[in-house]
A = this chain, B = another copy of it.
Amino acid sequence: MAGDILFNKIAFIGIGLIGSSLARVIRRDGLAGSIVACARTEQTRQTALDLDLADSATGDVAEAVNDADLIVLCTPIGAYGAIAKQMSAALKPGAIVTDVGSVKRSVIEAVTPHLPPGVHFVPSHPIAGTENSGPEAGFDSLFEDRWLVLTPEPGTDEVAVEQVAELWRRTGSKIERMDPDHHDQVLAITSHVPHLIAYTIVGTATDLEDRLKSEVVKFAASGFRDFTRIAASDPVMWRDIFLNNKDAVLEMLGRLTEDLSGLQRAIRDGDGDGLEALFARTREIRRSVIEAGQHIPPTPPGGDASDD
């Protein structure tokens, strides 16, 4: 079904890894009449044009959304409120606003108050990514076989929801609908806390004495490597995620630190049986992840995902 236009004009507000990957699919399959990219820096706008991700580029949000049928928010989520305010007056009736943010409740609270009646907000979250950032880092297979979570509020226009779902279906995503608060809880444990832990442990290593630090880098293949990859993700994006999913993150972190204290005690007390029992149990979860087909990291064309 390539070549059928789903939206006449699509505006990307921010066009990094996720936005540019979606734009690539839209270009590849001819799903939009035209694409406009809105980015703060001239460099990003130029890159978007050079990569043919957009027909035009601007630094002005109101100009970008003018006459757009679909607006995709792809900036760090902390900027959503200000962006929604800036675009408010320029949105055309019937326009659909969506986003790709990793937190959903706070995003709904930040965006909804600024939307005029007749404009639909369909929050979405593609569960996909790599640790690389920027429009050059995107690739059109990023979303294949990944989950795409939609979290529209009750009462949202179903036609609008379906149009957003259809766009994501074309990327190869599997669509799931969820309550925004529940989404935020699930993501806190599967994504936000793991990232926080990776940032912490790599940060702890950064504070080591110089000699130890250089050896940590040298022997990173022993497990540390995976944490450095996760902890290389975009700092501003992640700052905003933690600030906007505070409650769920702190709750999951509380559970985690309790469990960690328990393990610490087991090591101190030499409780081998307790350690082994936990380590055997966690293997089962890995098996479930493999059975669910969620174990293989995405591979950009021409290289290892973990290779910059």
Interface, chain A (partner B; CB < 8 A)? 78, 102, 127-129, 131, 146-147, 149, 176, 185-187, 189-208, 212, 215-233, 235-236, 238-240, 242-243, 246, 249-250, 252-253, 255-257, 259-260, 263-264, 267-268, 270, 272, 275-276, 278-290, 292, 294-297, 304, 306-308
Contact = CB atoms under 8 A, between A and B. Distances in A.
Contact of A218 (B129, B147, B198, B242): B147
B278 A199 contact: yes
A307 to B, nearest CB: 6
Interface SS of chain A:
helix
Nearest to A240: B272
B238 A275 contact: yes
Given A242-B267, A263-B196, A294 B186 contact: no
Contacts of A218: 147, 176, 292, 294
A226 B226 contact: yes
Given A189-B216, A200-B263, A226-B230, 20 more contacts: A127-B219, A147-B219, A190-B216, A190-B219, A190-B222, A197-B201, A198-B223, A200-B256, A202-B282, A203-B281, A217-B285, A226-B229, A229-B286, A231-B279, A235-B283, A243-B270, A249-B267, A257-B264, A290-B308, A296-B307
